[in-house]
Structure 1
Amino acid sequence: MSRFTSPDFLKATGGNRTRAEPPPLVDLSRPTLARLTSFQLGGKDHFDVDRELALRADRAAHGFKDLVEGERAFLQRAVRHLAREHGIDQFLQFGAGLPTPGDPHQIALEHVPGARVLYASDDPAVVAHNRAMLTDGETTTVVHGSPARPEELLRDPELRRFLDLERPVGLLLSGALSHVHDSDDPAGCTAALREALAPGSHLVLSHFCRPDPGSHPRDALRAQQLERTFLDQLGTGRWRTRAEIEGFFDGWRLREPGLIDVQYWRPLPSSPPVHGSYQMPARNRRLLVGGVASL
């Protein structure tokens, strides 16, 4: 075990705020999803063990980075759509990662001044890092929370202070349910969150997908190999069938164009580059699906 010593992790937020708590202990013997994502997105908060997982994932499915970047771009497009087209001004993101340019609060604030984003993570290092680098208490905040335990988060006093659940909320589950075990009933967890939200709320959901082996045998094999790699190395990571993923939308109205490969959800031209304009190569598009729904 060693301490996280990234200089940015220790920076004062906003130039005049300091982090009162010491950084959490970090287990360098095991990778984490947040650090793996940081590596794939070109960040610097990762270690050898995270980079090794990235190499293993790429051996299982060449171009695994496509999935990370494609899911990120889908989330960016969806947040922009909800803020600009539907006026959503408060968001709840599960599975928040380490701060990265183009995070949901930056996109929401471009279109809705004063928009609020609450980030939830069950990774103590992510919570501490976001509190040090990101949280201002007015437009962004972070709490410890997991989509596998929604009731705990819904009781959190910081969530109740920061979000008005009597008004529409943008619930961001981009990638989060891929890391909820079947034994934790991800469909039930999603239903509990849905029941807590007001009419007019929206759901943004993307998920690793296991294509039908009869129609796409090579894609199905890559999904199987990736799942085995993630479960062995990370302990989470499920590539579910399209039917299983569709079940997470029960009780929601799935908006056009429906549940599709995320590359095709309201794509943007690749030039000029903006947040959300990344275009996935064809090789792994079937391994990631997503959609937006409303109450």
Structure 2
Amino acid sequence: MTDPGPRTPSSRVRADIAHNARVWNHWLGGSDSYPVDRAVGDRVTGMYPSIGEVARADRAFLGRAVRHLAGDAGIGQFLDIGTGLPTADNTHEVAQHTAPDARVVYVDNDPIVLEHARSLLTSSPEGATEYVEADARDPELILRAAGRTLDLGRPVAVMMLGILNFVLDTAEARGIVTKLMDALPSGSHLVLTHPTTELGGEGNEAAMRFWNENATPPITARSRTEFASFLDGLDVLEPGIVSCSRWRAGSHGLNPEVAQFGAVGRKP
């Protein structure tokens, strides 16, 4: 992605408070952020130095999961909820590299992501990509909008990477997942990542408190048991629930563990 130079916020974008999509982009080495995002992101890094590794591991997990689904699993449709700002190896790029006719719908409610949505709407001639402005807490709206591009009567891979941690009530987060997966047929998949303090992430607790006092949206970590509850009723693919850095990492299977669960489940 090319450097757009100094950013001028639109009327819908707040530049006075750090926002997750922009801070995450900063941790990934991108340039789509404001001074407040970089200041908060750097402060979090000072408190929790491995946060950049978490961001990069999460992105690499996305690539491995999408390649498996578009290839070995034969999934040709992807619903990426909470996509964040465009960067390298976006879902449609990875999917369509393997399956050129793959169809991808991105969903986010951040106006700055909407501003960059055109970067997500490139597609192979055989496939399609679309962007939906919607909140993850409104699965009915997401499904209605996605149905204009995806055939919801055929298997869909639902991507929810680092998004349920912004739904602070676990029961509500489970309800969102249930509504999405109940609406999709057998063979659909759910791809999840989520921060935790159970994989060496204890130092993240203070950083999360700082985040919740100085940035938006607020965030929470969850236990393995809580994370596993999002996969209830699904067949969890090997190697199960692991650090996202170690999910099907191949020759890189000894990647350093990061405090971010990753898993992929298949609807039977």
Tell whether the structures are fold-level matches, with TM greater than 0.5. Answer: yes
Runs of 5+ consecutive residues of structure 2 not aligned to the other structure: none
102, 109, 121: which one aligns with 1:135: 121
CA distance in 2 between partners of 1:133 and 1:178 (Å): 26
Q: Which amino acid aligns with 1:266?
A: R
| Counterpart in the other structure of 1:16 | none
Secondary structure, counterpart of 2:203 in structure 1: helix
Distance change in 2, residues 1:145/1:280 (3 Å): farther
1:102 aligns to 2:89 (yes or no) = yes
240, 245, 252: which one aligns with 2:227: 245
1:223 aligns to 2:204 (yes or no) = yes
CA distance in 2 between partners of 1:251 and 1:177 (Å): 18
Q: Share of identical aligned residues, percent?
A: 34
CA distance in 2 between partners of 1:107 and 1:71 (Å): 15
CA distance in 2 between partners of 1:7 and 1:222 (Å): 34
Count of aligned positions: 261
| Counterpart in the other structure of 1:180 | 167
| Counterpart in the other structure of 2:241 | 259
Residues 203-251 of structure 1, C-alpha deviations (whole Å, 9 max, x = no match): 110100121xxxx7xx353132132122122232111111111111112
CA-CA distance at 1:31 after TM superposition = 1.1
State how 1:18-167 maps to structure 2 within 5 Å.
24-130=11-117, 132-136=118-122, 139-156=128-145, 159-167=146-154
* Contact map agreement 1:80 1:108 (CA 8 A) in 2: yes
> Which has the higher mean CA deviation after the structures are superposed, 178-187 or 89-98?
178-187
* Contact map agreement 1:29 1:49 (CA 8 A) in 2: yes
CA distance in 1 between partners of 2:255 and 2:16 (Å): 31
* Contact map agreement 2:249 2:255 (CA 8 A) in 1: no
Secondary structure, counterpart of 1:147 in structure 2: coil
Residues 106-130 of structure 1, C-alpha deviations (whole Å, 9 max, x = no match): 1101111111110000101202311
CA distance in 2 between partners of 1:228 and 1:42 (Å): 24
Q: RMSD of the alignment, in Å?
A: 2.5
CA distance in 2 between partners of 1:161 and 1:111 (Å): 23
State how 1:182-197 maps to structure 2 within 5 Å.
182=169, 185-197=172-184
CA distance in 2 between partners of 1:173 and 1:89 (Å): 17
TM-score (norm 1): 0.82
Q: Which amino acid aligns with 1:293?
A: G
1:292 aligns to 2:260 (yes or no) = no
Residues 154-184 of structure 1, C-alpha deviations (whole Å, 9 max, x = no match): 232xx22101100000100111111112177
CA distance in 1 between partners of 2:34 and 2:93 (Å): 27
Secondary structure, counterpart of 1:66 in structure 2: helix
Distance change in 2, residues 1:263/1:96 (3 Å): same
* Contact map agreement 1:24 1:128 (CA 8 A) in 2: no
* Contact map agreement 1:24 1:124 (CA 8 A) in 2: no
Q: Which amino acid aligns with 2:152?
A: L
* Contact map agreement 1:24 1:125 (CA 8 A) in 2: no
Runs of 5+ consecutive residues of structure 1 not aligned to the other structure: 11-21, 271-276
Residues 62-99 of structure 1, C-alpha deviations (whole Å, 9 max, x = no match): 12101111111111110001011011111000111111
CA distance in 1 between partners of 2:43 and 2:201 (Å): 17
Distance change in 2, residues 1:252/1:63 (3 Å): same
Distance change in 2, residues 1:73/1:24 (3 Å): farther
Structure label with greater radius of gyration = 1
Secondary structure, counterpart of 2:130 in structure 1: strand
CA distance in 2 between partners of 1:24 and 1:105 (Å): 29
TM-score (norm 2): 0.89
